[in-house]
């Protein structure tokens, strides 16, 4: 079964039409300049974001992205309950992960999406 999990900058989502399905804000910190009312009804799953220490170490440096992804996946493995709301929604339909980083290729939402898709695929294969 194919799952539909996409990533989108929160700033783009706030300005445009909401994509179909469930939306989740997956940043550890609330995005600068975004009013909470702009994301009314969007769950903020901050526990799914990387730790402050990891985020600071990464510093959005693309040269550190591969190691960041490895460390972040290890953090996610230690916090499986944080991912449950997103996994449940993905089992029912499309999901969009909202993030605030400028770099659209080297950010935690990309790693999280891939991690979630792997979890879902392994759960299907294991049942």
- At 25 the three-state DSSP class reads strand
The whole-angstrom separation of Cα 6 and Cα 4 is 7
User: Which structural domain range is residue 57 located in?
Assistant: 5-126
pTM above 0.95, yes or no: no
Taking phi over 0 as left and psi of -120 to 50 as alpha, with beta for the rest, 20 belongs to: beta
pLDDT band at 124 (very low <50, low <70, confident <90, very high): low
The whole-angstrom separation of Cα 121 and Cα 119 is 5
Please give the average per-residue pLDDT across 81-102, as a whole number: 96
The whole-angstrom separation of Cα 4 and Cα 16 is 20
pLDDT band at 100 (very low <50, low <70, confident <90, very high): very high
Q: What are phi and psi of 68, to 5 degrees?
A: -55, -50
Q: Are 72 and 96 in contact (CB under 8 A)?
A: no
Count how many domains the chain has.
1
| Predicted confidence (pLDDT) per residue in 11-59, tens digit | 987 777 777 889 999 999 999 999 999 999 999 999 999 999 999 999 9
């Amino acid at each position: 079964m194919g799952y539909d999990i996409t990533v989108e900058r929160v700033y783009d989502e706030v300005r445009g039409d909401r994509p179909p399905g469930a939306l989740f804000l997956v940043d550890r910190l609330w995005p600068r300049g975004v009013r909470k009312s702009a994301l009314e009804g969007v769950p903020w799953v901050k526990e799914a974001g990387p730790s402050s220490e990891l985020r600071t170490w990464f510093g959005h440096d693309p040269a550190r992205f591969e190691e960041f992804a490895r460390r972040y996946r290890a953090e996610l493995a230690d916090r499986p309950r944080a991912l449950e709301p997103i996994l449940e929604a993905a089992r029912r339909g499309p999901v969009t992960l909202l993030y605030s980083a400028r770099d659209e290729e080297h950010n935690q939402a990309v790693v999280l999406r891939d991690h979630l898709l792997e979890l879902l695929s392994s759960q299907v294969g294991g049942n």
